[in-house]
Structure 1
Amino acid sequence: MTMVVAILQAKPGQEDTLEEALREVAARSREEPGAMAYTVGRRQGGRFLVAERYADRAACDAHFAAPYVTGLLARFPELLDGEPQVELTDVVTGFVR
Structure 2
Amino acid sequence: MVNFGILATMEAKPGKEDEVAAFLKSALPLVQAEPGTVAWFAVRFTPTSFAIFDVFPDQKARDAHLGGEVAKALMARAPELFDGPPEIERVDVLASKLS
Q: TM-score of the superposition, structure 1-length normalised?
A: 0.86
Amino acid at match of 1:2: F
Deviation of 1:68 after TM superposition, in Å, equals: 4.1
**Within 5 Å, which residues of 2 pair with 1:11-50?**
11-50=13-52
Note the C-alpha offset of 1:26: 2.5
Greater shift after overlay, 8-17 or 62-71?
A: 62-71
Whole-angstrom distance in 2 between the partners of 1:49 and 1:65: 18
1:8 and 2:14 correspond: no
* Aligned alpha-carbon RMSD (Å): 1.6
Q: Deviations over 1:41-93 (max 9, x none)?
A: 11333111211101211111111222343122111011101232222122121
Q: Which residue of 2 aligns with 1:70?
A: 72
Partners of 1:15 and 1:9 in 2: how far apart? 9
State the distance in 2 between where 1:39 and 1:22 align: 9
C-alpha contact (below 8 Å) 1:25/1:69 kept by paired residues: no
Consecutive unaligned residues of structure 1, counting only runs of 5 or more, are none
Aligned partner of 1:94 in structure 2 is 96
Distance 2:50 2:64 in 1: 23
Q: C-alpha distance in 2, partners of 1:80/1:94? A: 30
- Contact 1:15–1:46 (CA under 8 A) maintained in structure 2: yes
Distance 1:94 1:68 in 2: 24
For residues 44 and 67 of structure 1, what CA distance do their matches in structure 2 show? 26
Over the matched positions of the two proteins, sequence identity in percent amounts to: 32
AA matched with 2:25: R
CA distance in 2, matches of 1:73, 1:17: 15
